[in-house]
Chain A
Amino acid sequence: MRAARTIAIAAVTGAFLLPLAWTGLAAIGVLPDDSMRPPSWTGPPTLDHIADIGVAEPTFWQELATSTLAAILAACLTVAVAFPAAFALARSRYRGRRTVTQGFLVLASLPVMAYAIPLADLSRRVHLIDTFAGITLAEAAVTAPLAVFVLHGAVGQLPTEWEEVAVIDGAGLFRILGRVVLPLIAPTVAATLVVMFVLDWNMLLVPLVLTSGEVKTVPVALSDFFTFERELDWPTAAAALMVSLAPLAMLVGVFHRVLESFALQGRGDRDIG
Chain B
Amino acid sequence: MRLTHRDHILLFAPLAILIGGWLIIPALVGLSATLTTYSPLTTAVAFVGWQNYSDVLHDPQFGEAVRNVAIFALVAVPLELGLGFAIAYLLRRPIRGRSWWRGLLLLPWLVSPIAAGVMWHYLFSGATGIVSFVLGWLGLPEAASPIGDVRLALAATIAIEVWRMAPFVTFLLLPGLVAIPEERWEQATLAGTSWFWRIVNVALPEVAPLMLSVGMLLTGLSLGAFDTILILTGGGPGTATLTPALYSYDRAFVTNDWPSGATSAWLIAGGVALVGAAYIRLSGRRSG
Contacts and interface: CB of A to CB of B under 8 A. Distances in A.
A215 interface: no
B136 A106 contact: no
Interface string A68-109: 000000000100111011011001110000110011011111
B22 A137 contact: yes
Nearest to A80: B14
Nearest to B9: A88
28 contacts: A16-B107, A16-B167, A18-B130, A20-B107, A23-B122, A32-B127, A34-B127, A88-B11, A92-B8, A99-B280, A106-B272, A109-B272, A109-B276, A113-B226, A115-B265, A117-B30, A118-B26, A118-B27, A122-B25, A137-B22, A173-B7, A173-B11, A204-B230, A205-B226, A222-B112, A241-B119, A256-B100, A264-B214
Nearest to B224: A111
A92 B104 CA distance: 38
Given A114-B224, A259-B171, 20 more contacts: A6-B96, A9-B101, A13-B105, A16-B108, A38-B136, A38-B139, A81-B15, A81-B18, A88-B11, A108-B217, A113-B268, A114-B266, A115-B27, A116-B249, A173-B7, A201-B112, A249-B110, A252-B103, A259-B102, A264-B217
B210 interface: yes
Interface in B12-29: 12, 14-15, 17-19, 21-23, 25-27, 29
Interface of A: 2, 5-6, 8-9, 12-13, 16-20, 22-23, 26, 31-32, 34, 37-39, 77, 80-82, 84-85, 87-88, 91-93, 98-99, 102-103, 105-119, 121-122, 124, 137-138, 140-142, 144-146, 148-149, 160, 163-164, 166-167, 173, 176, 198, 201-205, 209, 218-219, 222-223, 226-227, 234, 237-238, 241, 244-245, 248-249, 252-253, 256-257, 259-260, 262-265, 267, 269-270, 273
